[in-house]
Amino acid sequence: NPLTELVDIAALSAIAKKHGCLLAVDNCFCTPALQRPIALGADIVIHSATKYIDGQGRCIGGAVCGTKDVVGEGVFGFLRSAGPTMSPFNAWVFLKGLETLKLRMQAHSAGALELARWLEQQAEVKRVFYPGLESHPQHTLAKTQQSDFGGLLSFELNGGKEEGWRLIDATKMLSITANLGDTKTTITHPATTTHGRLTPEQRAEAGISDGLIRVAVGLEDIDDIKADLLRGMR
């Protein structure tokens, strides 16, 4: 995030087991609908349920998943002692979100893939980062360990911060926020938001250029999303 870089979970699991370590995977972007890390060898899976599991930006919460011998007393003991337990209503909202999770993730993925392919054809775009594209260096890995490619993508504009800000400011429908997983498509400029505290040298090392734009594709009509992005490109 935001360059959609992947890790080989099975390979990391083999390394962890060789050295007697546990492997924890943040599965927030894929959710259980698209990827099952425990089946790939992970010991612990964590989710920000606030995002796709809720799916409508209503509640804040999270989940830590694993076998009882791994998360047992370590997690439950902490919850019992420290008290960071969600309200019954929030828990109910997340459970209701699970009922539509697969359908929503399929829609997010389909929209993101269509948008990524469209962005690759735009003269104003230098490069698109999305694992569903064959041009993505880890496309084969994504197909191996995921059932679909998710709703998050990034693209690099020809230009820098000025061009990036102009595109974002020109949008009317997209939500300018760093959150994701909602029904509404969000757009952000990583170099001045999520990675804004890094030095220019650190951002360059991380691959975060001034022209990089991150989009979390929501559930709107994909043609409306394209039209909104075109406002700032042309």
> Tens digit of pLDDT per residue, the chain (234 long)?
899 999 999 999 999 999 999 999 999 999 999 999 999 999 999 999 999 999 999 999 999 999 888 887 777 777 778 877 888 999 999 999 999 999 999 999 999 999 999 999 999 999 999 999 999 999 999 999 999 999 999 999 998 899 999 999 999 999 998 789 999 999 999 999 989 999 999 999 999 999 999 999 999 999 999 999 999 887
Return the pLDDT at 36: 97
Q: Is the peptide bond before 32 cis (omega within 30 degrees of 0)?
A: no
Alpha-carbon distance 54 to 92, whole Å? 10
Question: What is the set of domains in the chain, with CATH numbers?
Answer: 9-93 (3.40.640.10), 102-233 (3.90.1150.10)
pTM over 0.85: yes
Q: Nearest CA to 108 among 2, 29, 218, 33?
A: 218
Pairing relation of β-strands 175-176 and 152-157? unpaired
In angstroms, rounded to a whole number, what is the distance separating the alpha carbons of residues 9 and 141?
A: 10
Sign of CA dihedral 29, 35, 36, 37: negative
Which structure tokens are listed for 26?
């943040």
- Tell me what pLDDT residue 127 has: 97
Q: Which of 50, 147, 65 is nearest to 102 (CA)?
A: 147
